[in-house]
């Protein structure tokens, strides 16, 4: 049986600061840009519509006022959780197209509701170039929810965002796996102190994307299922500069494709959200096309014949007690210096070293086949009448391997990549 993918647009930009005094963040345009490149047709997905966000208007917000747009984000999160829950109730696999990273609050609320319904905990795989872990306990002030979303969904911050419906936290610290942050992320020691498992880019590349996906499964083996958050700024700005806060040292499209395929290739994966792509920095659409290629290939295991839809377990205690020390290696181990990078798992082409830009500052924000996920008791299975269709079409061939940063070869008509804009703002409100 198959799980049909349902694509839901969540074009909110409420979690970012204004890029200029007279403009608003462009990530609200991302769902439309991705649809224009045939995403739904290539996934053979159901169109689950668009949840329109409130107006973007920071007004007279000032540092110390709490998270900007908090009432609007809170209300939007409740509505988004309702829509995601309805998709899962149909036995479908939600693909949420953001928008900025504040969409995670709605997804997290939906997962907490689901965990309560099945009597188990739901985990989070957080694939992001930044930890987004700023909160009142480690910063002089907060302001942009897209730079604070992981802190908020783990219960840190103001109650109108971190405890919607009286639920706090939406995800327990030990049920979160962070992948793809930069090695010197500003809040890496805070993650370690919280017991949140991380695998920064050097460790991810050393272990390989497929093995990293399997490792993430294992970290969440005590959970009833998990949600996947992907911020496209996990990619290096040499291949994906169209984000609000590009930060050198990221992964390649080919690696993201393998990682995504490994994470979704199990009925325990409940859905995926994609965030922070900004079409304002993609005038010819070439980056949107590459994202669509990657998502279609990465989600192939979900729509492939033989994929198993989840079936609901009876309510009751299903999650065993946490393992001593969370059963995970200390964060210090995975935050060690870069290791030698083995040969990539798919054929790729070198595109040279990651460029650097004068004046860059740390941002505040925001082929081995994939291994199957773990099996065992306490895993979420939800019954549905599968709506079958053929799997998505494969992406074209990849070029030969080589040293340096890796990416999938673009189609011949793809335009050359443009250099990142050094003036681009980060996900904070100044």
pLDDT confidence band for 303 (50 / 70 / 90): confident
Burial category of 134 from C-beta neighbours within 10 Å (exposed 0-12, middle 13-18, buried 19 and up): buried
Q: What average pLDDT does this structure show over 17-35?
A: 96
The per-residue pLDDT for 177 is: 98
User: Strands 349-350 and 197-199: what pairing?
Assistant: unpaired
CB atoms within 10 A of CB 414: 15
Q: Are 17 and 32 in contact (CB under 8 A)?
A: no
Most confident of 277-291, 296-310, 315-329, 343-357: 277-291
The per-residue pLDDT for 305 is: 60
The per-residue pLDDT for 107 is: 98
Q: For the chain, what are the domain ranges? A: 5-317+332-359+367-407
Q: Are 354 and 201 in contact (CB under 8 A)?
A: no
d(CA 420, CA 417): 9
Q: Is domain 5-317+332-359+367-407 classified as CATH 3.40.800.10?
A: yes
Q: Classify residue 170 by its DSSP letter.
A: S
Instruction: Please write the tens of the pLDDT for every residue from 367-423.
Output: 344 434 333 333 333 334 444 444 433 333 333 333 333 334 344 444 343 443 433
E-assigned strands of 261-345?
Answer: 269-275
Task: Please give the mean pLDDT across all residues of the chain.
Answer: 80
d(CA 262, CA 49): 27
Instruction: Please write the tens of the pLDDT for every residue from 61-106.
Output: 999 999 999 999 999 999 999 999 999 999 999 999 999 999 999 9
Upper half-sphere CA count for residue 225 (Cβ side, 13 Å): 31
Task: Give, for 151, the enclosing helix (H) or strand (E).
Answer: helix 149-153
């Amino acid at each position: 049986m198959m799980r049909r993918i349902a694509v839901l647009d969540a074009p909110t930009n409420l979690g970012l600061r204004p890029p200029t005094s007279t403009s608003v963040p462009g990530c609200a345009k991302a769902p439309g840009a991705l649809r224009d490149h045939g995403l739904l047709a290539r996934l053979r997905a159901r169109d689950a519509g668009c949840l329109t966000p409130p107006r973007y208007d920071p007004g007279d917000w000032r540092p110390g006022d709490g998270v900007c747009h908090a009432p609007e984000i809170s209300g939007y999160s409740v509505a988004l959780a309702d829509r995601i829950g309805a998709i899962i109730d149909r036995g479908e696999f939600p693909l949420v197209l953001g928008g900025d990273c504040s969409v995670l609050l709605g997804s997290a609320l939906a997962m907490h509701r689901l965990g309560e319904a099945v009597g188990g905990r739901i985990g989070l795989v957080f694939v992001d170039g930044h930890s987004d872990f700023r909160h009142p306990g480690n910063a002089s002030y907060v302001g942009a929810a897209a730079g604070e979303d992981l802190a908020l969904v783990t219960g840190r911050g103001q109650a109108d965002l971190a405890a919607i419906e009286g639920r706090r936290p939406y995800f327990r610290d030990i049920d979160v796996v962070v992948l793809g942050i930069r090695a010197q992320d500003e809040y890496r020691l805070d993650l370690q102190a919280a017991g949140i498992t991380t695998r920064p880019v050097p460790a991810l590349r050393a272990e390989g994307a497929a093995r990293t996906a399997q490792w993430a499964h294992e970290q969440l083996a005590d959970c009833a299922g998990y949600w996947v958050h992907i911020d496209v700024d996990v990619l290096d700005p040499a291949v994906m500069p169209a984000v609000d806060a590009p930060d050198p040292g990221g992964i390649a499209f080919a690696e993201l494709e393998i990682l995504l395929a490994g994470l979704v290739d199990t009925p325990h994966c409940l859905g995926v959200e994609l965030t922070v792509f900004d079409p304002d920095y993609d005038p010819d659409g070439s980056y949107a096309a590459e994202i669509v290629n990657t998502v279609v290939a990465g989600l192939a295991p979900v729509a492939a014949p033989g994929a198993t839809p989840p079936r609901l377990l009876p309510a009751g205690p299903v999650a065993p007690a946490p393992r001593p020390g969370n059963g995970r290696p200390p964060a210090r181990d995975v935050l060690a210096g870069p290791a030698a990078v083995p040969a990539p798992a798919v054929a790729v082409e070198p595109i040279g070293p990651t460029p650097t830009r004068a004046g860059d500052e740390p941002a505040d924000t925001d082929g081995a086949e994939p291994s199957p996920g773990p099996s065992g008791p306490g895993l979420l299975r939800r019954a549905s009448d599968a709506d079958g269709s053929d799997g998505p079409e494969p992406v074209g061939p990849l070029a030969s391997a080589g040293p340096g940063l890796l990416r999938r070869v673009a189609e011949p008509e793809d335009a050359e990549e443009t250099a990142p804009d050094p003036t681009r703002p980060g996900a904070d409100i100044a």
